Structure 1
């Protein structure tokens, strides 16, 4: 093993990936390499090593992971024009990365792959754990579940025509790896949940139904990235899956109250009937098709909002490597809104 700690982060220019790069630098890693496709965005000014390329190019990935001790695979698509695009990004891209590691990274200590609570989807249990079956309700959730099955050889389904991903391999036997599944993530630089904060800043707070149920897991990005590094350095048994979320489960009423308190202004709460959500999702999807954009709400997302499991247990992470939530909801929301204001996202 190399005495130097060298990390390679995919998705380093994004929300979670940029915070992860900062966490690795705080931990004293000797070198932090980040896969960069175009604009380095949040990585500007950080002492990272940019690697220009994409997950489609195995030769670039081989150069990136050479001599690396830790690989954090955060890159992926959450929205795309069609499901095959999600599969190429989230499944084939992951297999390409593991192929590169297995070929040229003799010093590798751990590879961590980011998945999602969206893999669970419909569940008879309101709180998912790592033993809960995956029945995803969205194209994104299906692509992440497909990725997990391919990596851990949970089935032999051919998920792509790409020859590199067509062989049936249990990658956890070739590469020391773990899979992390975050729930919804919030914090500075986040742009999807931001739309909720933006709406509240304008004096309107939409809440589905009573706002009491279902509750949800919600993790601050700094808790998540701290847990990701703690897990990788703990060195779990290869092939293990972990939820990394909040210790508490939050109702939308509590989220609403924390957000209104952070803005310190009067807000009009609009209760949206659950039966209206599918129609709103369909309208948003039609608007996206007309404008050739990918809005965060569509028909599948509306179905997820109403029917998917939104809570996950972090008991396994707490037992295995001592993971704990450090950022309380109210503090996290206040700090996040303060960042949005400072950066000009909110007035």
Structure 2
């Protein structure tokens, strides 16, 4: 591949948490032009030197124009919560197929398309730590949509004799839980710790989880997209090792210079809380981050993964320790009045 200074990237989901950090990583490496799909509000991209592309993944002609002359595509856009299977399918499967169809039309000779999936696609797993070889048995609507998306990459569309995996230089990455500045999903956990309560499903050491800082994830995504040997491969991009929730609690209390009491949350109780939160969401016109679908994932899906394959293939090496990453995140929350 040529140097970054001579290249153009197209990013979907760049206005979001992970996507905005990915855009910053591309600019940091000297990417000549970064085009970002923007619906209305550029959000975290406002002060960055990017080329906004106004539209969404249903606007095929917009995608054709945006992809003209592009060298690399980073598909980060997707929905992490939605009220129905159809809504997840439209946002996470059909939108991906729309993008890949546009790539075939407008940039068939590009170097790489990096597609973002999730550890949630794995679901139930007999192993404590998932590898890329385990079968996909998702338990949530979100996880099923990501598994369906991965499967759709290997299926032959009605209009072509070959699958996208056969005709395009695809790489799939599956992040586990991601944290860092701009993330709202784990913010409530840190708010609870600041109030001296640490809610943990099953207790502090019952299960481990892979928790990757968003900067490490962004670095790994670009490295995967740039490595010739990653063509056609799927990778977990997680932490150096899984962590117990007690470790996360200790990192948070140390960074906040406070104390917190662990509050074990039984699985059935978590499910009830998710149902009540979802009911309140229906009443207020919002879909809360903790809902029945999410509680099924928390209770039954695999939460830890191995990044050994990525380390072996392109030297993936997450460099931000948990204590440091949590401290940086909490400092950002406090600076921006979120905590």
- Coarse TM-score class (shorter-chain normalised): over 0.9
Gaps of 5+ in 1: 157-163
Match of 2:42 among 28, 40, 60: 40
Instruction: Select which of 56, 59, 67 maps to 2:58.
Output: 56
Between the aligned partners of 2:139 and 2:159, the Cα distance in structure 1 is 25
**Structure 1 residue runs of 4+, over 3 Å off?**
164-169
CA distance in 1, matches of 2:87, 2:225: 29
Residue 20 (1) aligns with residue 22 (2): yes
| Cα distance in 2 for residues equivalent to 1:218 and 1:141 | 17
1:174 equivalent in alignment to 2:176: no
Paired residues for 1:279-290 under 5 Å: 279-290=272-283
What is the correspondence of 1:63-212 to structure 2 with a 5 Å cutoff? 63-153=65-155, 169-212=162-205
Match of 2:297 in 1: 304
Which residue in the other structure is 1:160 paired with? none
Q: Deviations along 1:237-286, whole A, 9 cap, x unmatched? A: 53211110011111111111111111102333322223322222222222
How far apart, in 2, do the equivalents of 1:333 and 1:271 lie?
21
Question: Please, what is the CA RMSD of the aligned residues?
Answer: 1.7
Deviation at 1:88, TM superposition (A): 0.8
Residues of 1 paired with 2:147 and 2:159: CA distance? 16
2:211 corresponding residue in structure 1: 218
Displacement after TM superposition at 1:168 (Å) = 7.4
Deviations along 1:263-310, one digit per CA (max 9) or x if unpaired, are 102333322223322222222222222222111112222222121111
Q: 267-276 vs 10-19, which deviates more?
A: 267-276
Q: CA deviation at 1:81?
A: 2.5
Q: Map of 1:216-295 to 2, 5 A cutoff?
A: 216-295=209-288
Report Cα offsets for 1:37-83 as digits up to 9, x if no partner: 11111111111000000001111111111101000000001112311
Q: Secondary structure at the match of 2:52?
A: strand
Q: Does the Cα contact within 8 Å between 1:178 and 1:236 map onto a contact in 2?
A: no
Contact 1:2 1:69 in 2 (8 A): no
